[in-house]
Amino acid sequence: MSQLLLDVNGLTMRFGGLVAVNNVNLSVHNRQIVSIIGPNGAGKTTVFNCLSGFYIPSDGSVVFKGEQIAGLKDFRISRKGLVRTFQHVRLFSNMTVIENMLVAQHRHLNTNLLAGLLKTTHYKRLEQEAMDRAAYWLEQVDMLEFANREAGNLAYGQQRRLEIARCMVTQPELLLLDEPAAGLNPRETKQLDELIVQLRDEHEISVLLIEHDMSLVMGISDHIYVIAQGTPLADGTPEEVKNNPDVIKAYLGEE
């Protein structure tokens, strides 16, 4: 049996009187692609915000690799290996592609200032490793030839791929992707589909996905959670979720 990587229990997020997320449970195992689906405004992104440290959950526990992370600062959570993307692209658009990749490895280059100024061999080796890792991941997402381009000038689909590559150089164990297929054309969506599967199968990381593109979700997910109005509605394999009457009702309305 695979190991439990993320275990969320009774996650609740209240904004004043509004309950945006109500008692959500979910778990992600090693090498799993897990999706969260639900109508617009269901609270999916709020769940992501709670997991990644953007919000401090009002209630509930978030255990990542056996450790409680709810309430930790976002950069600490990221350092533990839980990294996210956003619905809209958030690249450093004035920086080049390669610089985006190097910023993400900032803490792996963590040497003292003096070592950086003196360019010690240790520092040079770390820098070379960071460069190699950046090149490797750019190659994985077919972006190596654009390494010196300014990120803001890339096509939209390329920007989305670069974002994933940038997450990957931080060496995460769990990647949270918030609607990665939004705005992509069918061909780009297919590339993304292949990339996510490759992340799981070849790079052995887990992916937690929010997505509206049902063919993508149904095709690659190991497990799906359905949320409606902040409350868990159902969960199961793609097959089970597809045939769940509650889910059909929530999406299509009652007959």
Strand segments (E) across the chain: 4-15, 18-29, 33-37, 59-64, 67-68, 82-84, 174-178, 206-210, 223-228, 231-236
CB of 141 to another protein, least distance (A): 17
124 touches another protein by CB under 8 A: no
CB of 52 to another protein, least distance (A): 6
- CA nearest 211: which of 203, 219, 200, 199? 219
Which amino acid is present at 177?
Answer: L
Describe the strand order of the beta sheet including 67-68 as a list of residue ranges. Answer: 18-29, 4-15, 59-64, 67-68
In this structure, what token pair is assigned to residue 216?
A: 């993508």
- Residue 13, judged by CB atoms within 10 A of its CB (0-12, 13-18, 19+), counts as buried
CB of 65 to another protein, least distance (A): 15
Describe the strand order of the beta sheet including 82-84 as a list of residue ranges. Answer: 82-84, 174-178, 206-210, 33-37, 223-228, 231-236
114 touches another protein by CB under 8 A: no
83 touches another protein by CB under 8 A: yes
CB of 103 to another protein, least distance (A): 4
CB of 139 to another protein, least distance (A): 20
d(C-alpha 176, C-alpha 196), whole Å: 11
CB of 93 to another protein, least distance (A): 7
Stretch that binds another protein, among 12-20, 38-46, 73-81, 226-234 (CB under 8 A): 73-81
62 touches another protein by CB under 8 A: no
> Residues 5 to 24: which contact another protein by CB under 8 A?
none
Which amino acid is present at 189?
Answer: T
84 touches another protein by CB under 8 A: yes
**Pairing of the two strands 82-84 and 174-178:** parallel
103 touches another protein by CB under 8 A: yes
User: Is there a contact between 206 and 175 (Cβ–Cβ < 8 Å)?
Assistant: yes
Q: Name the residue nearer to another protein (CB basis): 130 or 226.
A: 130
Q: Name the residue nearer to another protein (CB basis): 150 or 188.
A: 150
251 touches another protein by CB under 8 A: no
104 touches another protein by CB under 8 A: yes
Give me the residues that bind another protein (CB under 8 A), please.
Answer: 52, 54, 73-75, 78-79, 83-84, 86, 88, 90, 92-95, 99, 102-104, 106-107, 109, 113, 116, 166, 170
